[in-house]
Chains A and B, each alone.
Chain A
Amino acid sequence: MKVCQIEAGDLRRSLSKSGLRIRTGPFICHVQTPFENIADGVQLFYKDFTCESEGFADFHLKLIRPRNLHRVWRPQVSCYLNDDSPFSPLPSDQAFAVFESLLNWSIYTTTYNYLIIHGATVERNGFAAILPAPPGSGKSTLCAALVSRGWRLLTDELTLVSPASGLISDLARPISLKNNSIDVLQDYAPNEVFGPKIYNTIKGTIAHMGPPSDSVSRMHEAAVPGWLIFPKYQAGASTSVAPLPKGQAFMRLSSGLVNYPVLGAQGFEALTQLIDRTDCYNFTYSSLDEAMAWFSELQAPGRQALEQ
């Protein structure tokens, strides 16, 4: 069953009672919550996802109202992952953003069969462009713009690399846009689906852009790593691109990996394989049009070595 086949009232009731199991890429997430803004977000952004009311789940997420005085004058949301509470209670009007963060946290902290890169990944013609970057570097803005121009979304936040195959799994979920990039993207991609602005979060104002239906329907198609591009938004800068030597690319990527130390030798082998397969670049931009033009002219991976 797909989420869009469930009527809005039934979806809220299901979430608030036994919960819903939603398949997101290789994971099944069981979520229980009475919050209507989470139900609304699930209905808007997860409409093309498959779901079940019973069965196995990798993660059990609960987002509930804490039993404290805040519920009277400033309602909050408490969140639980498998009965542990990783975050302090937050204002309940941020509940959908908290749900998204909690799902990311679940994957970060419990997944050991993938190498997890903190970065967005998009795909075109079978090759994936990985965009690893710390918060504030314009990664999500660039990812959302590329998706709006026909690139397939694999992930906005957590790139999952299989150590066995070297392929990247699809984890297409809502893209989290922050602050100025919300208005920028709403102007740049007016046909995409955007959720309401969520104010005063620890990251500022957040709004989500929905994953395209095509990306969600291809959730089981892994992609071949093609390019490793470290993006950096710099206001007023013209687009500049510099090939990044592979040794430096390895060190830069490994320093930001979530579970590289845990995977040990397996992680090292997976990472060297990934770097071997990809053309690596530093990419600075401010104009989305210029950035899109450069990405549209990217040559099949492997040409970089021939040109150097």
Chain B
Amino acid sequence: MISGGAETSEDARFDRLIYERVRLGMMSALAVRAELTFSELKALFNVSDGNLSAHARKLETAGYVTCTKSFEGRRPRSVYRITAVGRAALNRYLDHVEAVIRATRR
């Protein structure tokens, strides 16, 4: 950590959730799109159904994204949206990364 201060429990939970590459990508993609379907996310990050489901569930459980399930004809359709909490978490992560760069280049 740049500050050298004690990590709060929220920071630690946040690191585990967003630090992972696919989850970070999902959060970044959802930050610029109002919503993305499961298929769109899968195509974006080239991951398997099971892998994406697991990552999406973790973000959903943390309250960072919401998932709305519906049917398009007979096909199930899952639509993901970033929440205000998720957006704030992504911003905190970006601040953290930028702080690392600033500190090491000082």
Q: Do A and B come from one complex?
A: no
* Chain B residues engaging chain A, CB cutoff 8 angstroms: none
* Chain A residues engaging chain B, CB cutoff 8 angstroms: none
